Each structure stands twice: as C-alpha cells, then as structure tokens.
Amino acid sequence: MDLGLKGKAALIGGSSKGIGRAVAIGLAREGCNVGICARDNTALAETALTIRRETDAEAFSLVCNMAHYEDIKRVVQETANAFGRLDIVVNNAGGPRTGTFDEMDETDWLNAISQNLMSAIRTTREALPHLRRSGGGRVINITSIAVKQPIDRLILSNTARLGVIGMAKTLSRELAPEGITVNNVCPGNIATERLISLIEERAQQEGLKMEEAIEIEERRVPMGHLGDPESVANLVVFLASAKAHYITGTTIQVDGGSTTAVF
C-alpha cells in the first residue's frame, strides 16, 4: 500500500529514544524526511545515523527542550527550512514525574503542563502555517491510555494529557474544512526506557525483583506481553498518511487490550 508519505516532512518531538524514535524511523521508511528532537545530542545522533543508514530519507537533528517555547519555535522553523516544507507534527515528549497529589508541588505541576500539554499546543500553533501550505497537514499527539483510564500515582500525566485530548478534539473540527487532521495515539505498556523506569520504581516500592515486577505488568495486558515501540509507530505512520485523510478527532489506544473502557 502506498501511504503517500514520500517526500513529505515531519517533526517528531522526543525522538532520540522510545516511541518517538520508532515513529521517526517508521515515517522515514515510508520516504518521509524527519526532524528529530531531544535535549541532548548523544542518542539523537545515533538515531539520525540509523535513519540515514536504513532508509532513503533525510534525518535532521535538533537539540531542544519541548518544555521551552523558544526551543519549539526554533525547531519548527529549522525543520521547515531544512526540508522546504512541514506536513506532519508528532507531539511527543518524556512523561512527567510520578506520584500522588500530596507529593506534587507548584513546580511539578507547571513542569508537567509545559512538557506534556503546552508543548503540543505550542508546536501545533507554530507548525500550523506550514501545515496549511502543505494542503492536508497532520497533527498526531502521543498521550497515554491514562486519558481513558487514569492510572494510580500518575496524577500529572492523568491531568495534563486530558488537556491535549480536549484541545485536539476542538481543533480537529476547526481544521477539518482545510483537510488538516488531528488525532491522539495512546500507548499502553510499551517496552521503552520510560516504562522500565516506572516498573523499577514499583518494584522498589513493593520489594519485588525486577523480573517479578515485569511479569506482573505483562499479566495486566490481555495479550500477555508488553508492546514494542513499533506497534505505536505503525498507527502513527498510518494516521500521518494520505490514506487516513478522513480520520480526525480520534483517540486510539495501542495497548494489547489493556483498556477496559468502551470508548
């Protein structure tokens, strides 16, 4: 199936590792040039190299913090300049601190809102003039299954990500007449550094060995195993494609059946 992504340009937030990295590689395999971002250059350079080696697409590395507006303005502009266009933005960054309401102070809340809500709003706003020129732009937000079922001890994630869903739904209707789509992808238990550190934290709290803690996580998933980042990337690549032109305003989980909520 030709996804119509050849020669397009995408900016992917938080993409030196994990889900963002898999998305960048997935888009590049379809011939889409990618701007990839992270706060430091070490893993980013390796990801760029992998993309150049394994695909025919170009990878442009951008050191930036998605929690900082000035950085976002710069990376949107630099990606559009590098490729002469910007068709797709994938809003993604690291997850916020874990813990309960009592454990969070003002700074924790503001950091989570900057990194996991304002980053999506700001990147979309900066990218919109370019997406409009593209004639069928795509906005895809990486959130979490926490938007369908809040997860204990993840109060910052449970809160900030619902703001993204509200923004995306409203914006999807505003942009639909222009052919620009806005969708949300919700990972479940995906085996990345982020998930492994969450499992380590739980193992320590509950006095479990790491293998036991992983097994408990796997048993929570009806498919019986953790997902891989490519499973999430496959959906993102499809939503970014020309084939998904009539799909907008959706919030879709990739979770091996974990979510029990109906919608």
| Binding positions for ligand NAD, rule: CB under 6 A | 14-20, 37-39, 64-67, 92-95, 115, 142, 144, 187, 189-190, 192-195
CB-nearer residue toward ligand NAD: 95 or 137:
95
Write down the least CB distance from residue 92 to ligand NAD, Å.
Answer: 5
**Shortest distance, position 113 Cβ to ligand NAD, whole Å:** 12
**CB-based burial of residue 59 (10 Å sphere; 0-12 exposed, 13-18 middle, 19+ buried)?**
buried
CB of 38 to ligand NAD, least distance (A): 4
The two tokens of residue 255 are 């979770």
- Give Cβ neighbours of residue 126 (< 8 Å, ≥ 6 apart): 72, 73, 76, 77
Sheet containing strand 181-187, edge to edge, reads 59-63, 33-38, 9-12, 88-91, 138-142, 181-187, 251-254
Beta bridge partners of 190: 227
Minimum CB distance to ligand NAD smaller for 3 or for 67: 67
* Contact present, 140 and 171 (Cβ < 8 Å): no
Tell me whether residue 175 or residue 199 sits nearer to ligand NAD (CB atom). Answer: 199
CB of 14 to ligand NAD, least distance (A): 2
Residue 103 CB neighbours (<10 A): 12
Cβ atoms < 10 Å from Cβ of 58: 16
Contact 139, 130 (CB under 8 A): no
For ligand NAD, the closer CB: 1 or 107: 107
- Axis crossing angle, helix 119-134 with helix 69-83, rounded to the nearest 10: 20
Task: Give me the least distance between CB of 17 and ligand NAD, in Å please.
Answer: 4
**Complex with ligand NAD: residue 111 or 136, whichever CB lies closer:** 111
Nearer to ligand NAD, 75 or 86 (CB): 75
CB of 253 to ligand NAD, least distance (A): 9
- Number of helical H runs and strand E runs in the chain: 9, 7
* 80, β-bridge pairs: none
Min CB(140)–ligand NAD separation in Å: 12
> Closer to ligand NAD at the Cβ: 62 or 88?
62
Alpha-carbon distances, residue 172 vs 3, 5, 176 (angstroms): 21, 21, 6
- Give the SS3 label for residue 251: strand
